[in-house]
Structure 1
């Protein structure tokens, strides 16, 4: 059977992939649904789960046998946990029992997947409880592939990761893009590339290295103004020779400092806001009393930068954004939160909420920490990767699967 391919946007470099929505589902088919249920156990935000419900329900309602796999946390830093609480959430929202199988790829898990009856759904153990997931170990991918005959890939938040459950398994089984994956990719299109007709502002914060190594590198050449915060700002300050005390540089460390220096040295970069004054607090105690210091005086020993004050020239640019209209992208909180919020976000938010400004927030931490009601993407790192490259590894692998692997009946 030939299945339609999905051109997401003529203006983008997103590859053509097979869509799950176009696939006829036959009773008894064995499907793996690769999701991105990287949510907290208190289920404070279930957006990354809820976006997959319609596709999982469609598979089950058509009589497919559905083995759901997902990640949460990381094997590398020991934060991965079991996902039984997600199975309970799925049971409640799908209106059908969703069994939890903790073994992931054990012999018992394979038997459980093969024993599923038409219309049954089971959630298997967190793939990141295994080192082979993040290493994209072919042996681990082969064990995952034993859970089904075809793969539906959702979870845009992990689409930039070349992991076994969303890239490796597609080397072994035919793959289809879930609606959530395509919707997230398409949502980013208005914020991609240059836009000569609109003023563009990007805020990069948080502590993850991709905010510097992907976000800063790319957006400095496609946006008009970049406002760094968090570890991105600290890397820039260090690159310019400022004493930053115990300020956090994030997972990238000195590598991000070197990247920041390279960006600042470019002649084709946009305006990058480097504040004259920053807000500091004792290291490891962001809720402690804060004070403003001049960067020329340096950050005091034992203190860390937790926020910044906008320079007058940057406020002028933001007033232009609000008055004339444009687009704004926020990838990571610009400052460390307190019960009262952060000065930087209070200053920025008023401009980004202007009627003529089209604003998008990227990533779960950004959405959770910033008081903003508006469009958001569940994928932080994945969204930055797509903005930089026009595609993500999962879409590339799905396109390869569509071109080279037939969808023959099992």
Structure 2
């Protein structure tokens, strides 16, 4: 069923509870990357422009003990949001209680406030993360309607998403959540073909369900990154000291048998004797690795193979880098894949969050993709074909 979008709601004069994903990196109290904040601005600005007030809230990191709270306050985020919006964002350093309730009662149309890290409620019994019924009901009581724009937590049933949605009359997706549903959900359920999936990263175990789901849905599945070596060893090749999940070899064989010609593996690798940025390295065919070498990237021939496999594709989903892209010597495979996708003509190109999103942004390719997901775990589960609690709990049209 179609989900309500923020534009479907009557907002004038309403107090809008808005779950955002402001789980941003902090160093010495300073935000080092505000992409998640800027991504939520269109929804926030729309709600304010409609004559409503915004009560924004998010988690920030993992909080299990009182000691974990240090450096996890949302105060720096509220300050940055004030700068980006050009208007004051009142910050209330509480997750419940009289001060929070007073601030909510005083907020006027066109104003915005933010309350404290929702995970502070996890210190005493994981009330947020375990979707405590009373907490969800309490937070829901603070507003008139609920807008969920936090796709990054959509794969979890928390008090701040499912709990609120279950206890409020009307809920809707924000513009960012809408994009995620449209692009990632659309790529899996109703893609324009050919659909090509590119999967990388370290472990096969992280992508098993994705591969199994995409075998039936994708026209091609390209595999790179550290996970490629488990497949290569399952084919009987020597992989030296490369990363390998020995307990997943039989599964890798099964996946290759199911996928047949759909599954495309690298034919060369950039090998080194040490996992180090300055390690001596060489490009070698995957069948010719020495016993004391490890593969840290795909080679030029594999980049060419993957580029050719992408030709003519109309939908591309990419999740996971092709090598240790943080080290310049082993970033060429990821750069090559970025360039190949960026140069596709007329294709819908989607990055499923996580390290591949970081790589594309860091390498300067962010504006070359149709959509870059803000949720690593959520996008993976969406690609697996799972229902996401945070999406399912949004009101239907």
Which of the five TM-score ranges fits, normalised by the shorter chain?
0.7 to 0.9
Structure-2 change in CA distance of 1:139 and 1:368 (3 Å)? same
Tell whether the 8 Å contact from 1:194 to 1:223 is kept in structure 2 after alignment.
no
Q: Which residue of 1 aligns with 2:16?
A: 31
Q: Which residue of 1 aligns with 2:35?
A: 47
What SS does the aligned partner of 1:215 have?
Answer: helix
2:362 is aligned with 1:352:
no
Tell whether the 8 Å contact from 1:32 to 1:147 is kept in structure 2 after alignment.
yes
Q: Which residue of 1 aligns with 2:47?
A: 59
Tell whether the 8 Å contact from 2:188 to 2:385 is kept in structure 1 after alignment.
no
Tell whether the 8 Å contact from 1:198 to 1:326 is kept in structure 2 after alignment.
yes
Q: Which residue of 2 aligns with 1:179?
A: 175
Tell whether the 8 Å contact from 2:225 to 2:321 is kept in structure 1 after alignment.
yes
Gaps of at least 5 residues in structure 1 are 1-14, 404-410
Describe how 1:11-410 pairs up with structure 2 within 5 A.
15-27=1-13, 29-41=14-26, 43-75=31-63, 81-105=72-96, 108-129=99-120, 130=122, 131-174=126-169, 175-188=171-184, 191-193=187-189, 198-207=193-202, 211-237=206-232, 260-266=252-258, 268=259, 271-281=262-272, 285-286=276-277, 288-292=279-283, 305-309=295-299, 315-316=304-305, 318-319=307-308, 321-322=310-311, 324-337=312-325, 338-339=327-328, 342-356=331-345, 358=347, 359-363=349-353, 365-370=355-360, 371=363, 372=365, 373-374=367-368, 375-378=370-373, 379-389=375-385, 392-399=388-395, 402=396
Tell whether the 8 Å contact from 1:224 to 1:270 is kept in structure 2 after alignment.
no
| C-alpha deviation, 1:212, in angstroms | 0.4
Structure-2 change in CA distance of 1:255 and 1:341 (3 Å)? closer
Tell whether the 8 Å contact from 1:199 to 1:321 is kept in structure 2 after alignment.
no
Structure-2 change in CA distance of 1:365 and 1:318 (3 Å)? closer
| C-alpha deviation, 1:97, in angstroms | 0.8
TM-score calculated relative to the size of structure 2 = 0.78
Higher mean C-alpha displacement, 80-89 vs 279-288 = 279-288
What SS does the aligned partner of 1:96 have?
Answer: coil
| C-alpha deviation, 1:213, in angstroms | 3.4
| C-alpha deviation, 1:293, in angstroms | 5.9
| C-alpha deviation, 1:332, in angstroms | 2.0
What SS does the aligned partner of 2:11 have?
Answer: coil
| C-alpha deviation, 1:219, in angstroms | 2.0
Tell whether the 8 Å contact from 1:247 to 1:283 is kept in structure 2 after alignment.
no
Tell whether the 8 Å contact from 1:205 to 1:211 is kept in structure 2 after alignment.
no
Higher mean C-alpha displacement, 208-217 vs 331-340 = 208-217
How many residues align? The count is 378
Tell whether the 8 Å contact from 1:278 to 1:309 is kept in structure 2 after alignment.
yes
CA distance in 1, matches of 2:233, 2:106: 57
| C-alpha deviation, 1:234, in angstroms | 4.6
CA distance in 1, matches of 2:215, 2:198: 11
CA distance in 2, matches of 1:164, 1:22: 24
Structure-2 change in CA distance of 1:237 and 1:84 (3 Å)? farther
| C-alpha deviation, 1:325, in angstroms | 4.7
Structure-2 change in CA distance of 1:254 and 1:20 (3 Å)? farther
Question: What RMSD over aligned residues (CA atoms) do the two structures have, in Å?
Answer: 3.7
| C-alpha deviation, 1:117, in angstroms | 3.8
Tell whether the 8 Å contact from 2:81 to 2:89 is kept in structure 1 after alignment.
yes
Q: Which residue of 2 aligns with 1:407?
A: none
| C-alpha deviation, 1:280, in angstroms | 4.2
Tell whether the 8 Å contact from 1:127 to 1:133 is kept in structure 2 after alignment.
yes
CA distance in 1, matches of 2:204, 2:148: 26
